Amino acid sequence: MKILYISFTIYVLTFISFEILKFFGIPLPGWTTSYLNDFLCMPIVLTVCLKAVHFIEKKSSITLSLPQILILTSFYAVYFELLLPQISARYTADFLDVLIYFSGTFLFYFLQYISFRKSGRNRKAA
């Protein structure tokens, strides 16, 4: 479980650092401004969801199932890449963003699998 939470901390610190650099106008590679937040989004959101399930159920052996993870990621993709671009000019639809969301999702799923396998806990989907 430690691997998942260490990774979560790294993702959050990366996100905060990136936003601070953008705020101060420090030039960054183009791919970071387009895709870094999309990649970090799902691992951060899914780790928070997992921790919420642990808190609510009072069981730290529970994992998020692949269908649950894919449904939440699909919701994010539809909301940010289909709905918001129609409502706000600030957002643009980009199919590559959807692939990046799912890349982050599979990274989370892999880290969750490794974390619970290494800790020897029985994996029980929420």
Q: Is 16 strand, coil or helix?
A: helix
Long-range CB pairs of 52-59, under 8 A, 24+ apart, other chains included: 53/126, 57/126, 59/124
Residue 29 CB-half CA count within 13 A: 4
Provide the whole-model pTM.
0.87
Q: How far apart are CA 60 and CA 92, in angstroms?
A: 38
* Pick from 82, 122, 113, 120: nearest CA to 7: 113
Alpha helices in the chain (DSSP H): 2-23, 30-31, 37-57, 66-78, 84-87, 95-118
The better pLDDT of the pair 115, 40 is held by 40
Which DSSP letter does residue 126 get?
A: -
Q: How many domains does the chain have?
A: 1
- 77, pLDDT greater than 70: yes
Write out the DSSP string of 77-103.
HHIIIIIHHHH-TT----HHHHHHHHH
Tokens of 59: 């069981």
CB atoms near residue 1 (< 10 Å): 18
pLDDT digits (tens, 9 = 90+) for 10-53: 999 999 999 999 999 999 888 888 899 999 999 999 999 999 99
- What's the rounded mean pLDDT across residues 97-105? 97
Question: What is the domain extent for residue 7?
Answer: 2-125
